Amino acid sequence: MQQSKREPGRESWQLALKLALSLRLGYSLFAAVAAWIQPVNWRLVHSNALTENLPAPDHSWKYLLLGVWNRFDTLWYLHIAARGYDRPDAVVFFPLYPGLIRLMSALVPPMAAALLISTLAAFFLFWGLQELLIVEDVPGLGRRSVWLSACWPAGFIFFAGYPESLLAALTIWCLWMGRRERWVCAAVLGVAAALTKAIGGVVVVPLLVMGLRQRRPTSLVVLVILAVVAVYLGYLHWTGQAELSTVYAQYWRTVASAPWRTLWLSVRELVRAPDAILLLNVMAVILVGVLAGMSRLKIEYALFSLAAIFVLLCKETMPPLQSMMRYQLFIFPAFVGMARVLERVGLGTRWGMICGAFLIMNLGLLWMFLGWSLVV
């Protein structure tokens, strides 16, 4: 179906709302059914941190709707929201998302707050992606790109107790503000992105390119993003918290490394001991990089994608490329690149089938996630 060159803003937010509500309902129903029929492997559960006092699953409505989502990093965000940074290994989780959970917990239970924040952020992500592509004058790709972003493999995490949808939404609206030359708003949203996850700071790269092109000295206000990150790291140091690099190495089996070394170690490990999750992560790095390059967006978005992938590959984890499918979800040019590829190979009229295939992959990954067998 052909679309007009400029999509009305009302259509954008309506589609975003429908997608966000439908996926929230669909994933919640799937998780509730999984809780009924999925066996619990307590060995897997207790191999994760913060699970020593996790209550046994039951079939109460509270567990089916909320408790089943209390997995992996969600435990950390809820812990920080309740108790602050009382553990040295918690400082790797940046403060905005748990801070919002704490605020919302005055109205609803913490787990409900986490899911509500993620769902609202997913709505703004889907809406903002369409609006950004309108501003960039990319004809016909807004709706298809947002559908792909909604169904992208591992995209279920946008609706879990994780900050990925918040990071992506803040990044996209930050760039939208930059394109509109609203530099103070762009800087505020960029700071929020950087305080959501460390990788959020890369948004300063495309913002500076936009400012240079527009020759607006006021655009330099976006450098406050880097300044705030530096202040936050300084705060950790001054308050006696361990350095992030030390915490990553000591508690999270992660060290800084050259990106090419990370890739080499990943491929070597894959050859030595084939693993389905590692294979998916390797393929995700390659696919997102290629698709972002094929998006044919402005140079600042290519640099944004390159900077994000470069920074992510600087983390050498054990096992290799751990959670890379999730980490790359905010690299939105990949969605646009996929939409262009589908058009180029003659599958533009079958993008619904592609989204359906992606959604099935998502449900498979969600099943593993709910069973504690997949760290996404």
Sign of CA dihedral 289, 294, 299, 304: negative
Query: How much is the pLDDT for 139?
Result: 65
Contacts of 265 (CB under 8 A, 6+ apart): 316, 320
pTM of the model: 0.94
If asked whether residues 144 and 169 sit together in one domain, one would say yes
Assess if residue 4 is contained within a domain.
no
- Measured CA to CA, the distance from residue 134 to residue 43 in angstroms comes to 49
The SS3 call for residue 375 is coil
Assess if residue 354 is contained within a domain.
yes
What are the per-10-residue average pLDDT scores of the chain (376 residues)? 48 94 98 92 87 84 94 96 93 96 97 98 97 83 91 96 98 96 96 96 96 85 92 84 87 94 94 90 95 94 97 93 94 95 76 89 95 85
- Measured CA to CA, the distance from residue 248 to residue 155 in angstroms comes to 25
Query: How much is the pLDDT for 349?
Result: 66
If asked whether residues 70 and 195 sit together in one domain, one would say yes
If asked whether residues 179 and 78 sit together in one domain, one would say yes
Domain region containing 147:
9-49+57-253+350-370
If asked whether residues 104 and 198 sit together in one domain, one would say yes
Assess if residue 206 is contained within a domain.
yes
Structurally, how many domains does the chain consist of?
2
Assess if residue 238 is contained within a domain.
yes
Query: How much is the pLDDT for 238?
Result: 85
Assess if residue 125 is contained within a domain.
yes
